[in-house]
Structure formats: C-alpha cells, structure tokens
Structure 1
Amino acid sequence: MNDLLNTALGYVTPVLEFALAWIIDPANWVQFALLVGAYVAAVFITRKFNPRITKLLTPAQESTTILSQTRRFILIFLPLLLPLLAFGLTAVGEQVTRSIFGSGEVIAFGKRVFLFLAARAFVRDMLSDPLLKMVGKVVLVPLAAVYALGFLDPVLAWLETTVVPLGNMSFSVLGLLRFLVVATIMFWLGRWSNDQSSALIEKQEMRPATRQLAAKATEIAIFGAAFLVAMNIAGVPLTSLAVLTGALGVGIGFGLQKIASNFVSGVILLLEGQATVGDYVELDGGETGTIVKMTARAAILETYDGKWIVVPNEDFIVTRVINYSDSGSANRYDVTFSVSYDTDINKIPDIVAPAVAALDFILNDPMPPDVELENFGDSGIDFIVEFWVNGIDDGRFKYRSHVRFAVWNALKEAGIEIPFPQRVVEIKGGFPKGLTE
C-alpha cells in the first residue's frame, strides 16, 4: 500500500508544483485578465455594432444588382465577427505580455481557442451546402480543436506517417484528408460556377438547342477543369491518367458503342435543331409526344396521357421522325361531316365557314376556314372543313372537338339534318307465312 501511495504521489507532486507555480506567477494572472478582457470587449463591440452593420448592409428584398448581391454575401460572414475580434484583441494582449513578462502561453492558448470558435461558427452558421458542412464537421473543426490544444504538429506528423495501403499504391492519412478537402472545395466551386454560367446563358438570345448545347459544354469544361486541378493539388500525377484514358477509349470502342453514338447524336441534334425541347414529334413506331428534356443520352417525350417515353438520341438521326413544328407555328387540320340528301348543299359553305371562323383559335392567315364537298356517301353528302390554328391538335387543346361542336350547332340552327346510316334490306321470296299472319 505504501509503494502504491508513493507512486501516486510521484505523479501528483509535479502536477501540484506546476499548478502552484502557475498560480503564484503574476504574468499568468495578467494574461488571464487580458484574455477575459479581450473577450468581454469583443462581446460588447459586437452587440453594439452588429445591428448597425446588419441594417447598413441589408439591401432591399427585391434588389438584384451586383452591389446588393455583394452586400448579402458580406452579411454571411457576420457570425465570425465575435471570435475574430476576440482573436485580434487577444493577439494585441499577447504582444504586450511578451514584451513585459517575456511569456504569453496562457493568452496564446486563449487566442487559439478563439480561432477554434471561429472555425466552428464558420461551419455551423455559414456553410449551407450539405457536402461542405459535412467536410467542415469531419475535418476542419477537429483540426481546429487539436490546434487549440497545441497538438497540431504532432498530430499532423502522425497522420503523415500513417500509411493506408491500396493495392500496389499507398497513401498517407494526411494525403487522403487533403484530397478530400480539395476535391470537395473544387466540386463546390465547379457547381457554383456552373450555376452562374447556366443562368448567364439562359439570359442570352439564342435558339433553345444552342443554349442547351452551350450549357452542357460549359458544364463539362468546368467539372473537367475542377477534376484536373483537384488531382494536381492532391499530388496525383496526371500522367497516370493516360492509362485510364486509354482503357476508357477501348471500352467505348467495344462495349460503349451505343452510348457514344447517342452522345454524338445528341450533340448533332443540339447543333442542327432538328428536334429540341418543346417540339411535338411522332416516332417511327407511332408514339407521339412533346420533348420535355434532352440529355446526353436520350430525349424524354411526354405524352398527353401522362406517360414519359425515353427515346435514344440515335433514333432521331437514323429513323423516320415527324416533327410537327416548333412551338407557335401554324398548322392545318380538317373535320369531316355529312348532311342529308334533302339539303341544299349550296348553302353549307356559307353556314359552316363563318361558324368555324368565329372560334377564337382559328387563323385567317395563311387561309380562312374552307368548306369543300368531299363525297356523295351512302347515307348523306360528305363535306370537309379545313382550318388553320396556331399550335398542334395533340389531344390537349382539342381543336377538332371545338370545331365539331361549332359545325353541329350551326347546322342545327339552320335546320339541316345530319343523317345517320341507313340500309335497305330486301328479303327474297317474301316473308314466311307464320310472320305475315
């Protein structure tokens, strides 16, 4: 028992002596007082000036100018004001204590703590992107905590010497963390740049196909550059990608022919404008629909019964596809109807044509509604009315349905009968005797 007690005292005694020496050292108390004073001053300043800064930098809600966007961006950094201000005041106090007492370990520790608080506020309050926030919580905040405790150099040295084998290659844990941080930042910058460039391209006056091609080309260029920069910063030699590129070329040549063909076909469609978003098309198999989206591999057709049809881009190049028109072009349609043989057919054009022309969607240019005699049918005289509309009768607008209503109402008001099928049945030999009695 005595040996155990002596061993415990051997550990505790140096700690007590260090604590006693720290307590009786006036330099430590001065540093501690300066540290508390710096924090209190930072709290007082931020509470007094934060509302004024917020009011000064907050633009009108509807304003979208560059200056307004810059002011909103600066406001994002407002949560860092307190810890960074405390850090700056503490740094001044450290210079004072080192010049007077020749030491400043306590206040230096406090300065590192304020820097840790700044890193935590940055991750918690400023980062809104989920990926960046995750990397900040996993990497930035722990490293800031280790730095605040004064163990950053030994921890970095341990991470550098800890090697993770991966097949014939090996990476240090520090290298993997560096690659994770750099790749995340580059990916976020690439996505932000792509959003900005896409918004800029959307404002340009150009054909939808050209606009979409420009957006896709910009996206590929931005993320390709981000990938190369991330590889270079992480220390991965770009010459090693030559093997991967060669293997990818072989794969495209043998196993990815259709994908490559569809990609090239998509670029051709975007360049030539044969089919673009908003067009109403009929495929070689009879399916019809409006193109709602075009990707690198396929076009998405939406039918008017709610179904989506995925059509490979190659089909628009190598098969017969009817593109009825771009949005807003004029198209001609026709509706057939019949009247009784007792009708004065010379009056039909004057009755039907004005009724159809009165519909609000009927165009007079390039030609007003035209009523023509089509045929002498079995049950009546067949007519056809041709009309032009601005758009496509795809089942959603129901142009033909409205025209048929107008024809029916016009003929009814004129007292003209629309015949139903009539048949003459001849019974050879007469009726059986049982049926005649």
Structure 2
Amino acid sequence: MDPTQFPDVVNETGGAVLAFLEGLLRRWNLYQIVVVLVALALAVVLGRLCRTRMRRWMRGLEGRPKWQLRYLLAIEKRLTFIVWAVLLWVIFLALHEVTWPSRSYLIGILARVVSAWIAVEFLVQLMRNRALRRVTRWSLWIYVTLYFFGGLDETAQALDSLAIRFGDFRLSAFSVLKALVVTAILVTVARLGASQTSTRIRRNEDISPSMRELIIKVVQVSLYGAALFIGLKAVGFDLTGLAVLSGAVGVGLGFGLQKVVSNLVSGVIILLDKSIKPGDVISLGDTFGWINTLGARYASITTRDGKEYLIPNEDLITNQVVNWSHTNDFVRLDIHFGTAYGDDPHLVRRVAIAAAASVDRVLASRPPVCHIVGFGDSSVDYILRFWITDPSGGLTNVRGNVYLSLWDAFKEHGISIPFPQREVRILDGSTLATKTID
C-alpha cells in the first residue's frame, strides 16, 4: 500500500460522498426520491400481474428453441425491474417537458442506472458458469452505478492507491480488478467463438470424426490461451518475466503430473491415428460399449446398462482394445450347443442354420453356418456362426434371440438337447446294501 496517497484519496472520496448526500437533502431531490419509491411500489404490483399472465402464456409454448425459452424466462423473472425502468423513463420525460430539467435530474439518472442493470442481466445470461455469472453481474452493476452517479474516477483512484511494489513492478487493486474484468470478457467471447466453431466443425461430414475432435481441441486451446494472453497484456502486465518462472514450474509439473501429460499426449495420438473415434463400439477388459466423446484426458464410454465409464487415454494406447467397428461394421458371433447322439446331424445343421437366419439382426448376405466340432461325453457338439452389422445394438441380446430360436426349432423337429446323467448303483455286500436289507 502507498501510505502517501491513500489518506488523500480517502479524504477526497469521503468529501465527494458527503457532498452527494447533502445534495439529496434538497427539496426537489427529496420529491424525486419519493416519486422513485412510488414508481417502485407500482412496478412491484404491475410486475406481479404481468408475471402471472406471462407465465400462463409461456406454459402454452411448444417447439421453441431452448435459447428463446431461456430468455423468456429471464424476462419473466425481471419484469419488476423492466416495469420500474419504463415508469421512470415515462416520468422523467414528462417532467423534463413540463418543468425545469434540474427537477427531474435524479429520476433520469436512476432510469439510466436501472436500464443498465437490466442490460447487464441479459448480458450475463451468455455465461454458463454460475459463479462467473454472479461475479460479473455484481461487478458490472457496481461499475454502471458509479459511472452514472459520477463516482468512477474517485473509486479508481482509491483502488489504485492500494498497491504493492516488487522492485520496479507495481501491482494495484485497480490493475488486478481491470485484469479480471478484461480477461473474463475475453474468455466469454472465446467460449462463444469456440462453441460456434465446434458446432460447425461437427456438422462437416467431409472431416473424419477423430479429426473433428482434434481440430475442436486445437481451436479451444488457441482461443482460451489468446484470451488470457491478450487480457493480461491489455492491462499492462509484463509477461516476459514469467518465462523463467514458467520453465521452473513446468519442470516440477513434469514430475508431478506425468499421468496427466501422458493422457494428454495419448489423446492427441488417438485423434491423429484414427484408431478410435466417437461412435465406435469397443471392448476394454470387462467394459463393452460405444464411445460418446474423446476428451483431452479421457474417453467417455457408455455401456448397454446405461453406465458411463471414463477411460484414461493412456489405457486405450497401452492396453489391448477390441474395436468392433474400426474398419467395418461386420461382426461374427459364435454359439456352441450339443444334441443327442440319436439325432441326425444333417438335420440338426439345417435346422440350426434356418433358426439363426430367422432372427432379424442376422445377416442374410452372409448366411449362418453350422459345423460339428467334436463328440462329447453326452452329446454331439456343434458351433453355429452368424454375422451382424450393428454391434452398438448389443451382442448378448442377439445371442439370446438365436438361442431362443434354436430352442423352438429343436422342439418342433424333435431334436433333444442332452445333459449329463449319473447312475448310482449299490453293490452287493456293501455296508449301505446291508443296512437296506436289514
């Protein structure tokens, strides 16, 4: 803190505040304050009536875009402020025409302030982050209030006097506040630009899905990095002195965040080699599902039971991954079964092929085949193979449908599915046989 400037600035600010309060105590200013309060009370009543009617009207809206509904809801919540601003402007313009301008001066200032508050409310709706939206709202409210009441310069001087020096570098509260505001605005603009760019890139069918994700990540990092850099430079921060510090921090982070860096590099490799892309059906260990998104650190995989797994990108590079739809969508499934030795194997094969072909998802262009694979202890063992092209629809369910079709077909043709049977014989002269005779 600069001890030589701060007391003077405080005295000047305090004097300006006292002068402003003394001006409010004048007769015509008191009249204007009463008019403003009456307008506020009337706005509360009218706002409630308008909100009730508008809420009924909004409930009947169907098929509207989400952004329109979001802004209609924002208008509905702030109808009291909107009505208040309209009343203040009407009163100000009427008094401005019929009496001296000084007798409506305070009402005009309040009309501008309330209108600016409403504009800020709709502006911050562009921000999705609730905490950032709240901070931005209050900051802009304070700024526009000070601007219209003429206290902006005094406040800026008071904040600038709160400073810390590091050699030739001076860091004041005003500089920090200005940096935060400028950076927040630039980051918001960067987010909007990244969102629009991402939407257009995802709609471009000429680019492969993996390259779309890579381009989107590059655009996002570039826009956010540029926003942060420009924001700091715009307020006078010298970033050249951070080069040595950032190098030292980078070495430390390199040891402490090896897994994070590995996942980031793995994500870039996956996007470049196109081995895995959004929409692919993969198996990794016991996890089977399709890829929703490829993030910078992990891939989002949704299974058939609705669970969403976040698989680190490094695991997709180092572990064995089965991509059911890498080069094409054809997937072959095998079913093993057995029939009794008394059944004709030629009939069994024909019935099994026909049963599998009757299932909807089984391909007719690649007809099923059935082969004998061995003679078991209690059955003749077969393998039934068939093809599908929609692994994302699930594998267990199509196997279950084929098994059910086999059961119905075997029952219709009298083909039995044996199971192991055991005989228990009691030998003559054994202890159990003696107890049974007794």
TM-score (norm 1): 0.71
Partner of 1:340: 340
List aligned pairs for 1:329-408, cutoff 5 A. Answer: 329-365=329-365, 367-392=366-391, 397-408=396-407
Cα contact 1:252–1:260 (8 A) shared by 2 = no
Partner of 2:239: 238
Paired with 1:133 and 1:384, the residues of 2 have a C-alpha distance of 63
Paired with 1:264 and 1:386, the residues of 2 have a C-alpha distance of 40
Partner of 2:416: 417
Shift of 1:238: 2.6
Cα contact 1:298–1:310 (8 A) shared by 2 = yes
Alignment CA distance shift 1:125-1:339 (3 Å): closer
For each residue in 1:59-112, what CA deviation from the matched residue of structure 2 results, as whole angstroms up to 9, or x when unmatched? x98688xxx99x99xx99998899699889979999999xxx9xx766655543
- Please say which of residues 195-204 and 353-362 is displaced more in the overlay: 195-204
Alignment CA distance shift 1:163-1:89 (3 Å): farther
* Structure 1 SS opposite 2:288: strand
How many percent of aligned residue pairs carry the same amino acid? 32
Alignment CA distance shift 1:154-1:249 (3 Å): closer
Paired with 2:133 and 2:317, the residues of 1 have a C-alpha distance of 45
Alignment CA distance shift 1:127-1:218 (3 Å): same
Alignment CA distance shift 1:250-1:109 (3 Å): same
Number of corresponding residues: 386
Partner of 2:229: 228
* Structure 1 SS opposite 2:140: helix
Cα contact 1:297–1:313 (8 A) shared by 2 = yes
List aligned pairs for 1:155-174, cutoff 5 A. Answer: 155-163=155-163, 170-174=170-174
Paired with 1:238 and 1:61, the residues of 2 have a C-alpha distance of 52
Cα contact 2:298–2:312 (8 A) shared by 1 = yes
List aligned pairs for 1:274-353, cutoff 5 A. Answer: 274-283=275-284, 286-290=285-289, 291-304=291-304, 308-326=308-326, 329-353=329-353
Shift of 1:415: 1.1
Cα contact 1:340–1:380 (8 A) shared by 2 = yes
Cα contact 2:186–2:227 (8 A) shared by 1 = yes
Determine whether 1:267 maps to 2:271: no
Q: Which amino acid aligns with 1:322?
A: V
For each residue in 1:372-417, what CA deviation from the matched residue of structure 2 results, as whole angstroms up to 9, or x when unmatched? 1111111121122111112339966422221111112111111122
Aligned residue among 119, 122, 129 for 1:122: 119
Cα contact 1:356–1:362 (8 A) shared by 2 = yes
Cα contact 1:393–1:400 (8 A) shared by 2 = no
Partner of 1:154: 154
Paired with 1:167 and 1:403, the residues of 2 have a C-alpha distance of 80
Cα contact 1:393–1:399 (8 A) shared by 2 = no
Alignment CA distance shift 1:107-1:240 (3 Å): farther
Shift of 1:121: 2.1
Paired with 2:392 and 2:147, the residues of 1 have a C-alpha distance of 70
Alignment CA distance shift 1:199-1:352 (3 Å): same
Determine whether 1:431 maps to 2:428: yes
Cα contact 2:340–2:417 (8 A) shared by 1 = yes
Q: Which amino acid aligns with 1:338?
A: G
Q: Which amino acid aligns with 2:360?
A: D
Paired with 1:114 and 1:167, the residues of 2 have a C-alpha distance of 46
Partner of 1:113: 110
- Please say which of residues 401-410 and 116-125 is displaced more in the overlay: 116-125
Partner of 2:203: 203
Gaps of at least 5 residues in structure 1 are 1-14, 41-46, 48-59
Alignment CA distance shift 1:307-1:150 (3 Å): closer
Task: Report the structure number with the largest CA radius of gyration.
Answer: 1
What value does the CA root-mean-square deviation take over the aligned residues? 4.7
Shift of 1:208: 2.2
Cα contact 1:209–1:271 (8 A) shared by 2 = yes
Cα contact 2:124–2:137 (8 A) shared by 1 = no
Alignment CA distance shift 1:89-1:136 (3 Å): farther
Cα contact 2:95–2:103 (8 A) shared by 1 = no
Alignment CA distance shift 1:305-1:126 (3 Å): closer
Paired with 1:84 and 1:166, the residues of 2 have a C-alpha distance of 51
* Structure 2 SS opposite 1:385: strand
Paired with 1:250 and 1:273, the residues of 2 have a C-alpha distance of 31
Q: Which amino acid aligns with 1:251?
A: G
Cα contact 2:198–2:216 (8 A) shared by 1 = yes
Determine whether 1:219 maps to 2:220: yes
Shift of 1:180: 2.4
Alignment CA distance shift 1:245-1:400 (3 Å): same
Alignment CA distance shift 1:191-1:244 (3 Å): farther
Cα contact 1:371–1:386 (8 A) shared by 2 = yes
Alignment CA distance shift 1:335-1:148 (3 Å): closer
Alignment CA distance shift 1:426-1:415 (3 Å): same
* Structure 2 SS opposite 1:127: helix
Gaps of at least 5 residues in structure 2 are 1-18, 40-45, 47-60
Alignment CA distance shift 1:83-1:306 (3 Å): closer
Shift of 1:282: 3.3
* Structure 1 SS opposite 2:204: coil
Shift of 1:328: 7.5
Cα contact 2:332–2:387 (8 A) shared by 1 = yes
Partner of 1:50: none
Q: Which amino acid aligns with 2:197?
A: S
